[in-house]
């Protein structure tokens, strides 16, 4: 049911005239029921409460309604009106810290950074006077956020946090400064700040990591490794620290350590594919191309399972780049191309695979690929010719017998075995490899892959048998290094297998004679600090004597100590309990800081807080308000209008003054300032402003007669009849029809 607004307004007016203020307010509240989001109604009720209810309760009610009005203005996008109403609140309750903060936020949104800073400073000062140091510092952080590039202010705030024992807040501020330093290329200053943070909290993993990254980028790889390890000690699950250590290992070519570290993560987090990506990259850098290709193929399949064909496609192509002969990768790329409709790739890969299988005698698979190509591109001449050739082979018994007569070509079987292994079909892979060996009994690749298949199936005995077979093949070819590697591998599979021990003792009897010399040589290298050379010799010994405990112990010592670099000890900063200062004003502290004080540089030995708390707040002597931004003349002008409409004449004057430097708003701002002085009964000041305006270069009689007319009226109000007559006569000479200027001239002439 709609209400009669005019009747309610009339009733409210009558109640107000009779002094029945509460009833008048109740009438206004009825309008709120109908239009709950009308800020003007709340503002009017606030005015009534303030004007007619002189009690403390009336003031509280007025503030409540004003705040509600301001909130509605703000949420409706009328920021200037909201600012004006908040100013009204502060006239009544100048200690409302929350209102200053709201004003600061609004001014910040409007781009009036100087005004925002001033509002925040007032709020912070009030908090400080009440001993609410933490709250004051939170407001000062808002001030620092207004100009993130001003590091001196933020450093001062960080120092104060630290002095107050608010370590986490201090660290946060120091981190912000360090980030800006890095962006500006001042890496040493940033690193010293991170070291300062570690003096506050030695377990701050983030700072440890950042120092490590800086060390890594500067080429100090061993230090980077030390910092990365320290970070992982404090934060074992940190991916950032983990990545730093991996990057550092890669830079120093410590690929074995990197691989071991990544494999640990893969075992703990098998679903995190990022670690497999790291492993593939490490293997590639290491030069282990076959294993790198295998890992990229696994990644390709994994991304395909996760419905990410684009990433799967990329890794399949990378696999082929590394190992072009890896047929399963080509097959996977072919199937993905077929699935996602990359027809050009289907034809290209299909022809490659068809040629491969045809060349290896597997005409069935070759024919299958030719057929799939023709389904995508029925006009492929090569596919048609390929199919025709296969049909001709099938029809010719002579050609078929010639193909069968090449039992030594086992590449097709090896490819099939690889494919089966990739998909976990170990039994089928074993069968393919056994078929291959029956055709080529001394093929090392077939035996090596069969050994790996048995290992994957956890069939130790069969795996060792394949190791022994391979040793015999290598022995017949005189490849001693290959035998040594196989002995070490077989020993890992089963350290107690006598066949391997007998084979080693038979094949390398001379090694026992030379171990002493090798140990002596390795010891000499270790004493001279030539760690890599010593490690190489010890590993050489272990290839033929894997159980030599002396060598194992020395190798562990060398590997355990080599990468570690001792990080410098830091003296932890301890907070001294002191009584909180009851008042401080960072506005005083930061006065000259914003423009003159050079940004200090830290050394890691420096004590950051060496002055008393009071000293920190009285170092600088010029005002922060010199930083106020006044270039947005239009915004200041509009804000002045809003203040004037709300009756905040002094605030309006301040805003209009900020427009004076702008030529386009000089006359308008002068006129508005004069009107505000007039409302404040400050007629002389109003006259002074208008006289300055009318004699300025910006003044033009054709456009600005209203300014001169207002000046004449003010002079007349002050009793300066002759001056008023002179002004109105000037207007009359310009435009005799302007307003009532003719009457005014006649009246003043008669009075004279």
pLDDT tens-digit readout, 73-125: 988 888 888 988 998 899 889 999 999 999 999 988 888 888 888 888 889 88
- Please report the pLDDT score of residue 619 as a whole number: 39
- Average pLDDT (349-372) is 87
Please, what is the Cα angle at 196 between 194 and 202, to 5 degrees? Answer: 85
Q: Is the pLDDT of residue 148 over 70?
A: yes
- Please report the pLDDT score of residue 647 as a whole number: 80
The secondary structure of 154-172 as a DSSP string is: HHHHHHHHHHTT-HHHHHH
pLDDT tens-digit readout, 253-300: 999 999 999 999 998 898 899 999 999 999 999 888 889 998 998 898
First to last CA, the chain: 65
Q: 323: number of CA atoms within 13 Å, CB side?
A: 21
Non-local (6+) Cβ contacts of 303 within 8 A are 273, 309, 311, 312, 315
**Higher per-residue confidence, 555 vs 335:** 335
Q: Is the pLDDT of residue 596 over 50?
A: no
Burial class of residue 494, CB neighbours in 10 A (0-12, 13-18, 19+): middle
- Please report the pLDDT score of residue 625 as a whole number: 35
pLDDT tens-digit readout, 227-260: 999 999 999 999 999 999 999 999 989 999 999 9
Pair 43, 49: CB distance under 8 Å: no
Q: How far apart are CA 559 and CA 663, in angstroms?
A: 76
- Which domains, ranges and CATH numbers included, belong to the chain? 1-94 (1.25.40.10), 262-325 (1.25.40), 341-404 (1.25.40), 633-751 (1.25.40.10)
**Higher per-residue confidence, 616 vs 115:** 115
Rounded alpha-carbon distances, angstroms, from residue 601 to 153, 196, 296, 616, 635: 14, 12, 48, 17, 39
Per-residue pLDDT band for 630 (boundaries 50, 70, 90) equals very low
- Enumerate helices (H) and strands (E) in the chain, giving the number of each: 41, 0
User: How much is the mean pLDDT over the chain?
Assistant: 81
- Average pLDDT (427-443) is 88
Q: How far apart are CA 140 and CA 127, in angstroms?
A: 11
- Please report the pLDDT score of residue 418 as a whole number: 84
Alpha helices in 360-443, H assignment, sequence order: 363-376, 381-395, 397-404, 411-422, 426-439
Q: 496: number of CA atoms within 13 Å, CB side?
A: 0
Q: What's the distance, CA 623 to chain centroid?
A: 35
Per-residue pLDDT band for 574 (boundaries 50, 70, 90) equals low
């Amino acid at each position: 049911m709609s209400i009669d607004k005019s009747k309610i307004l009339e009733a409210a007016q009558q109640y107000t005239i009779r002094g029945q203020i509460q009833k008048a307010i109740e009438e206004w509240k009825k309008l709120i029921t109908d239009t709950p989001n009308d800020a003007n109604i709340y503002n009017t009720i606030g005015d009534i409460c303030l004007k007619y209810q002189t009690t403390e309760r009336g003031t509280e009610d007025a503030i409540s309604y004003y705040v509600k009005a301001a909130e509605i203005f703000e949420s409706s996008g009328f920021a200037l009106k909201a600012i004006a109403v908040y100013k009204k609140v502060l006239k009544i309750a100048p200690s409302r810290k929350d209102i200053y903060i709201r004003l600061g936020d609004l001014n910040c949104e409007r781009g009036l950074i100087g005004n925002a800073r001033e509002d925040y400073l007032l709020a912070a000062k009030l908090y400080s006077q009440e001993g609410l140091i933490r709250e004051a510092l939170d407001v000062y952080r808002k001030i620092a956020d207004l100009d993130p590039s001003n590091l001196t202010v933020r450093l001062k705030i960080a120092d104060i946090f630290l002095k107050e024992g608010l370590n986490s807040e201090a660290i946060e501020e120091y981190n912000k400064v360090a980030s800006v330093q890095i962006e500006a290329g001042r890496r040493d200053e940033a690193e010293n700040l991170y070291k300062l943070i570690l003096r506050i909290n030695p377990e701050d993993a983030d700072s440890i990591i950042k120092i490590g990254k800086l060390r890594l980028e500067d080429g100090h790889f061993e230090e980077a490794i030390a910092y990365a390890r320290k970070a992982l000690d404090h934060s074992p699950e940190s991916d950032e620290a983990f990545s730093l250590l991996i990057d550092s290992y890669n830079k120093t070519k410590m690929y074995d350590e990197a691989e071991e570290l990544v494999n640990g993560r893969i075992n703990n987090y098998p679903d995190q594919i990022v670690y497999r990506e790291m492993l593939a990259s490490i293997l590639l850098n290491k030069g282990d191309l076959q294993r790198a290709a295998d890992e990229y193929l696994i990644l390709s399949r994994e991304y395909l399972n996760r419905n990410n064909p684009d990433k799967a496609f990329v890794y399949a192509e990378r696999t082929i780049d590394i190992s072009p002969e890896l047929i399963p990768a080509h097959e996977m790329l072919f199937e993905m191309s077929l699935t996602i409709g990359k027809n050009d790739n289907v034809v290209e890969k299909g022809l490659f695979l068809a040629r491969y299988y045809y060349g290896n005698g597997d005409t069935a698979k070759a024919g299958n690929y030719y057929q799939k190509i023709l389904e995508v591109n029925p006009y492929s001449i090569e596919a048609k010719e390929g199919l025709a050739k296969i049909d001709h082979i099938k029809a010719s018994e002579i050609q078929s017998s010639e193909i069968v007569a090449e039992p030594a070509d086992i590449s097709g079987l090896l490819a099939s075995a690889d494919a089966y292994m990739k998909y976990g079909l170990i039994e089928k892979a074993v069968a393919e490899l056994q078929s291959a060996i029956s055709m080529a009994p001394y093929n090392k690749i077939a035996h090596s892959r069969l050994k790996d298949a048995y290992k994957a199936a956890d069939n130790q005995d069969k795996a060792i048998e394949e190791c022994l077979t391979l040793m015999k093949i290598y022995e017949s070819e005189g490849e001693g290094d290959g035998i040594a590697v196989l002995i070490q591998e077989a020993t890992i599979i089963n350290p107690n297998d006598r066949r391997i021990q007998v084979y080693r003792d038979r094949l390398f009897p001379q090694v026992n004679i030379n171990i002493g010399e090798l140990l002596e040589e390795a010891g000499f290298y270790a004493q001279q600090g030539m760690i890599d050379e010593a490690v190489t010799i010890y590993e050489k010994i272990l290839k033929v004597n894997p159980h030599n405990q002396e060598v194992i112990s020395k190798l562990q010592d060398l590997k355990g100590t080599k990468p570690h670099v001792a990080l410098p000890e830091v003296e932890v900063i301890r907070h001294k309990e002191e009584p909180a200062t009851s008042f401080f004003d960072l506005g005083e502290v930061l006065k000259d800081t914003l423009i003159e004080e050079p940004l200090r540089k830290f050394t890691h030995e420096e004590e950051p807080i060496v002055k008393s708390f009071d000293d920190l707040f009285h170092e600088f002597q010029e005002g922060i308000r010199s930083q106020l931004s006044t270039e947005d003349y239009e915004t200041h002008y509009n804000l002045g209008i809003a203040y004037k409409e709300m009756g905040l004449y002094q605030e309006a004057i301040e805003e209009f003054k900020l427009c004076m430097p702008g030529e386009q708003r000089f006359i308008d701002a002068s006129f508005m300032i004069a009107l505000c002085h007039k409302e404040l009964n400050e007629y002389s000041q109003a006259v002074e402003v208008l006289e300055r305006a009318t004699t300025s270069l910006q003044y033009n009689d054709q456009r600005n007669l209203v300014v001169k007319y207002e000046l004449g009226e003010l002079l007349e109000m002050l009793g300066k009849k002759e001056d008023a007559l002179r002004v109105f006569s000037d207007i009359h000479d310009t435009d005799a029809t302007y307003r009532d200027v003719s009457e005014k001239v006649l009246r003043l002439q008669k009075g004279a």
